[in-house]
Amino acid sequence: MHKLLPADYIVFFIYFIAVSVYGYYIYHKKKSATMSSNDFFLAEGSLTWWAIGASLIASNISAEHFIGMSGSGFALGLAISTYEWASAATLIIVAVFIIPLYLKNKIYTMPQFLAKRYNDSVSTIMAVFWLLVYVFVNLTSIIYLGALAISSISPISFEWSIVGLSVFSIVVTLGGMKVIGYTDVIQVIVLLIGGLVTTYLALSLLADKFGFDGNILEALGVLRKEAPDHFHMIFDKSSPHYKELPGLSVLIGGMLINNLAYWGCNQYIVQRALGADLKTARNGILFAAFLKLLIPVIAVLPGITMYVMHQNGMFQQEMIDAATGSIKPDHAYPTLMNLLPAGLKGVAFAALTAAIVASLAGKANSISTIFSLDIYKKYFNKDASDKKVVRVGRWAVILSMVIAAIIAPALKSLDQAYQFIQEYVGFFSPGVLAIFLLGMFWKRTTAAAALAGAVLTIPVSTVLKFLPTWTNGAFPDYPFLDRMTITFFAIAVLMIVMSLLKPNKPGDTHSIEVDKSWFKVSTEFVIGSVIICGVLVALYTVFW
């Protein structure tokens, strides 16, 4: 069952060699005589719109989508797609209102924005927070899920999968953002093809099971008929899954806060656009929004299909967790991949590896960017040359990947890994968004208020999560997306009150430049945005 045949190895090595050769070509073609830090961390001015868009998606999509999202598709249904579809709308908001502020103010890192707008204390606290979250939550969970997936569909052990993914990702990352950005184009093409192949196989199997001889359009009809409860985007309070995706909060509440923080205030995402001009950056982000519409087809649909097949007596053993004896939703995608014929399994294996490596490389590059520019150069060696800063950045890549690889096996106890990641990153996101939005759009926000927001966001989130347990149910047990909404408004109100009670002294204002003309967009951007919003309205109308 868990074997790769010679044809699969051939396909995988073609992918591996293609990425390696193309990365080497880009590195040498675009390498300047001496690589500057902006060149290494931002690929300044050299990424095209399609490279930016592909890189945004490659950094975002990983094993947590293929494995975790399919698992949530099995357990919850199509509603988990709201993370993707709502992101498409959020990307348009980010492109219009947030990216111009970074580019026109020459912002290269998120802590740099905080230092420029507030002060070094706010910047450093948030830089340390980001480094801890990126290394101990993001990198660790991607390596864990990636290794779990690869060991599930190949003879490579879990431990050696961790080693292989870490080494491959380090090699890609050490070439800098140009190499990451352009190799991500290949990674996205491979992951889309591999994902579509797996989805096609799942629907084909379902069609065969119900006597439709591989007709996937008939299979889509079977899905709606056999699992009607899996085709609702908005859950009401009677749903057993309401706590995970609470009603309208997936559109206008915690999900919007989560997405704005992720796509607009997150170094490893925003970094792709920071080296480009405004038009290129916006077009790249719009391209990423189009790609986001496709992700549920390759990540969620296979999980729902596996649910229907499982309900009809197929794959009973494969979906059981050997350790606990219970159904493990995250087994859905690896089980499907194991059924692919020789050659196609190699494509799916390459797609999974591409998603993992691209995501790891993006996060590792951002870790090295924040550490090198906002910690090392600011506090340890202010006069460091560009060459020295790049060298420190490369060591930061290696060290962070080694730490994450050592910790990754500790995550084996998770059930739905995707939901776990969303919830615990959500402890941090509401305060980040409040600090950024108030800093961007309200000049009176003070550094003291931002510092309080930075320090209190995790304690407030923690209290909201655990207070129901501590009070034996006397305090309401809110869904985590609703907790994010409450935390965001609590931090924002606190910051506003503090700023009004103790305003900045004259001459002590650290505002960034904002010009309304920056928010004007091209006709092409408007047309693209209208198409995306039209598709989203149609999807939510049909699957409400």
162-173 pLDDT per residue, tens? 898 888 888 877
106: three-class secondary structure by DSSP: coil
Whether 335 and 453 share a structural domain: no
What is d(CA 372, CA 286) in angstroms, rounded to the nearest whole number?
Answer: 30
| 38 part of a folded domain | no
| 31 part of a folded domain | no
Is the CB of residue 256 less than 8 Å from the CB of residue 489?
no
Please, which residues have CB within 8 angstroms of residue 440's CB and are 6 or more apart in sequence?
98, 101, 117, 512, 514
pLDDT at 509: 63
pLDDT at 274: 80
Whether 460 and 391 share a structural domain: no
Q: Determine the average pLDDT of the residues in 420-437.
A: 82
Model confidence at 179, in pLDDT bands (50, 70, 90)? confident
The tokens 């990540």 sit on which residue? 299
pLDDT at 36: 60
Whether 410 and 433 share a structural domain: no
**Res. 533: pLDDT tops 90:** yes
| 40 part of a folded domain | no
| 28 part of a folded domain | no
Model confidence at 537, in pLDDT bands (50, 70, 90)? very high
pLDDT at 518: 86
Whether 351 and 466 share a structural domain: no
pLDDT at 490: 94
Q: Which of 158, 188, 183, 186 is nearest to 171 (CA)?
A: 183
**Res. 134: pLDDT tops 80:** yes
| 382 part of a folded domain | yes
Please, which residues have CB within 8 angstroms of residue 192's CB and are 6 or more apart in sequence?
291, 294, 298, 351
What is d(CA 438, CA 38) in angstroms, rounded to the nearest whole number?
Answer: 27
| 74 part of a folded domain | yes
Cα end-to-end distance, the chain, whole Å: 38
pLDDT at 418: 57
pLDDT at 1: 46
Whether 386 and 437 share a structural domain: no
Q: At 47, phi and psi to the nearest 5?
A: -90, 130
Q: Give the torsion sign (CA, 106, 109, 113, 116).
A: negative
Output the 3-class SS for 138-183. HHHHHHHHHHHHHHHHCCCCHHHHHHHHHHHHHHHHCCCHHHHHHH
Model confidence at 95, in pLDDT bands (50, 70, 90)? very high
Q: Determine the average pLDDT of the residues in 355-372.
A: 85
**Res. 290: pLDDT tops 90:** yes
**Res. 66: pLDDT tops 50:** yes
**Res. 67: pLDDT tops 90:** no
What are the CA-CA distances from residue 71 to residues 63, 255, 420, 484 (Å)? Answer: 11, 20, 12, 23
pLDDT at 11: 85
Higher pLDDT residue, 71 or 43? 71
Q: Determine the average pLDDT of the residues in 76-90.
A: 89
Domain total of the chain: 2
Q: Determine the average pLDDT of the residues in 328-339.
A: 80
pLDDT at 489: 94
Is the CB of residue 163 less than 8 Å from the CB of residue 405?
yes
pLDDT at 31: 59
pLDDT at 359: 81
Q: Give the torsion sign (CA, 140, 145, 146, 147).
A: positive
pLDDT at 38: 62
What are the CA-CA distances from residue 517 to residues 441, 510, 520 (Å)? Answer: 15, 21, 6
Q: Determine the average pLDDT of the residues in 348-368.
A: 82
Whether 222 and 149 share a structural domain: yes
pLDDT at 529: 94
Residue 288: its H or E element: helix 278-299
The tokens 């830090």 sit on which residue? 37
Whether 110 and 234 share a structural domain: yes
| 37 part of a folded domain | no
Whether 193 and 326 share a structural domain: yes
Q: What is the CA radius of gyration of the chain?
A: 23
Nearest-10 Cα torsion for 435, 438, 439, 444 = -130
**Res. 140: pLDDT tops 90:** no
Average pLDDT, the chain: 83
Percent above pLDDT 90 for the chain: 16
- Which tokens belong to 226? 């056999």
Whether 76 and 107 share a structural domain: yes
The domain of 465 spans 427-513
**Res. 34: pLDDT tops 60:** no
pTM of the model: 0.85
Q: Determine the average pLDDT of the residues in 258-284.
A: 86
What is d(CA 268, CA 435) in angstroms, rounded to the nearest whole number?
Answer: 18
- Which range is least confidently modeled, 214-218, 254-258, 283-287? 214-218
Whether 89 and 169 share a structural domain: yes
CATH of the domain at 210: 1.20.1730.10
Among 456-460, 492-496, 502-506, 509-513, the range with the most confident prediction by mean pLDDT is 492-496
**Res. 92: pLDDT tops 80:** yes
Residue 351 bridge partners (DSSP) = none
Please, which residues have CB within 8 angstroms of residue 81's CB and are 6 or more apart in sequence?
233, 295, 296, 300
Please, which residues have CB within 8 angstroms of residue 222's CB and are 6 or more apart in sequence?
206, 207, 210, 212, 308
Whether 412 and 476 share a structural domain: no
| 521 part of a folded domain | no
Whether 482 and 537 share a structural domain: no
Q: Determine the average pLDDT of the residues in 135-157.
A: 82
**Res. 419: pLDDT tops 70:** no
